[in-house]
Copies of this chain bind each other. A is one copy, B any other.
Amino acid sequence: MHTLTVDLADRTYPIHIGKQLIGNSTLLAERIRGRQVYVVTNETIAPLYLDAVLSSVQGYQVDTTILPDGEQHKSLEVLNRIFDGLLTARHNRTTTLIALGGGVVGDMAGFAAACYQRGVDFIQIPTTLLAMVDSSVGGKTGVNHPLGKNMIGAFHQPRLVLADTDVLHTLPERELAAGIAEVIKYGLIADHKFFEWLEENMDALLQRDEQALAYAIKRSCENKARVVALDEKEGGVRAILNLGHTFGHAIEAAQGYGQWLHGEAVGAGMVMAADLSHRRGSLSAGDLARTTALIERAGLPIKAPADMMPEDFLSLMGVDKKVLDGRLRLVLLQAIGEAVITTDIEDALLQETFAACRGQ
């Protein structure tokens, strides 16, 4: 088992990565402060892992909400079901919410924990690669609004993350690839060596080699934890974690949430960011080619949907929360391993990227 620490003063917490962590009652008990536990999961994950979690929290009052599966249910309305459940079962301010599932479950359970009685503890047990390397680290929680993704939310740090690599064996292929998109992102923005490691080990990851997966998760979480510790509430440097996300969110919104997986949209979005970076003269042709090739090898889309026009992108990027004071703000690349945040975007080059990255 690898253990990392996310260093955030009085909100510091451990991430354990390894086999057979779901159902480890000792690791849970160390980080549960009260006598009530509330498990939030979804209808896909519940039959697979809910029993294992329940058996590891015996001796507590335990209640559960099982959400419908999918990004389209990440709404204020569905969130309210968690509050209904908590209040009906009379959970008090000392309760601990456990998020058992992918990013959607983690974001919703985390936001419910942030708001319930103005804040209670929560624990993440991510069941997708994407949730392990991204959403379970850093404390971003929230729900979508019909006019924009993650527009309603809070920063709320978990007390513990248990990343059990055993669950990745049941993960559908598309979801594995979607997780790898965020893994590649860490290489692109800040870790050239890790990018090279990924070029060497992409086949092992796709074949779900245990050691390769554990290493990729650890290195990703280390990268993210370092950035989050520098800038918990995204006042500055943390924004580099959004590489590919402004384009990606526009794709998700245009297609309706749940059609493209988040990681798939980020995959195409990172290619768009790399393409624009190259057109602006900052990323070399070689680095653009390597970036595109690695994303493609992971089984991710490298083109935006064919029916998305430039004006669709611009309109949807205009309400993205990465827009600063009405100006478009993007994370771009200087080189593999080196990201830069800029508001100085030439409209003509952006139009060229839309044209070049549109699917057939």
Contact = CB atoms under 8 A, between A and B. Distances in A.
A331 B87 CA distance: 22
Interface stretch (A111-119, A204-212, A335-343, A351-359): A111-119
Nearest to A118: B153
**Interface range on chain A: under 10, 10 to 19, 20 to 34, or 35 or more?**
35 or more
Which 9 A-B residue pairings sit nearest by Cβ, starting from the closest? A87-B147, A117-B321, A118-B153, A115-B152, A92-B323, A93-B321, A90-B319, A94-B325, A83-B145
A80 interface: yes
A309 interface: no
A182 B2 CA distance: 53
Interface string A62-83: 0000000000000010001001
A152 B119 contact: no
The complex is assembled from copies of this chain, and their number is: 2
Given A83-B145, A87-B148, A119 B154 contact: yes
Dominant secondary structure at the A interface = mixed
Interface string A150-180: 1111110000000000000000000000000
A88 interface: yes
Nearest to A61: B326
A118 B140 contact: yes
A94 B148 contact: no
A153 B115 contact: yes
A35 interface: yes
Contacts of A321: 92-93, 117-118
A233 interface: yes
Interface in A85-132: 87-88, 90, 92-94, 114-119
B154 A116 contact: no
A35 B154 contact: no
A92 B154 contact: no
